[in-house]
Amino acid sequence: MGYLLLAGAIAAEVAATTALKYTEGFSRLWPSVATALGYLVSFALLAQALKTVQIGTAYAIWSGVGTAAIAVLGLLLFGEGLSLTKVAGILLIVGGVVVLNMGGATH
């Protein structure tokens, strides 16, 4: 159940960060509300996930998957460029999450 909550936390964080792009510096009401609610839901779900998932593992997955997802959404939704450096960075993030999980997933 902890990993399901963690997946929800990641989805809410990615949605909030995407909405943040549309706030135009928090000058637009509804994207700003969506951003605030998304982060609130994300942190609430992350807190619940931490009841059963180790904090280092949970945070590595939450931040790593969220970062990689936002980088991909930046490409797809906002026309951000894709360079070899960006691809390498995303792969390093994903690799780091995998290594952390392999080395510390026990309770």
pLDDT digits (tens, 9 = 90+) for 8-21: 999 999 999 999 99
CA–CA dist 91, 104 (Å, integer): 20
Residue ranges of domains in the chain: 2-104
- The answer on pLDDT for 105 being more than 60 is no
Distance from C-alpha of 62 to C-alpha of 53, rounded to nearest angstrom:
11
- In degrees, to the nearest 5, what angle opens at C-alpha 79 toward C-alphas 76 and 82? 85
Q: Give the Cα separation of 30 and 12 in Å (integer).
A: 16
The 10s digit of each residue's pLDDT in 27-72 is 999 999 999 999 999 999 999 999 999 998 899 899 999 999 999 9
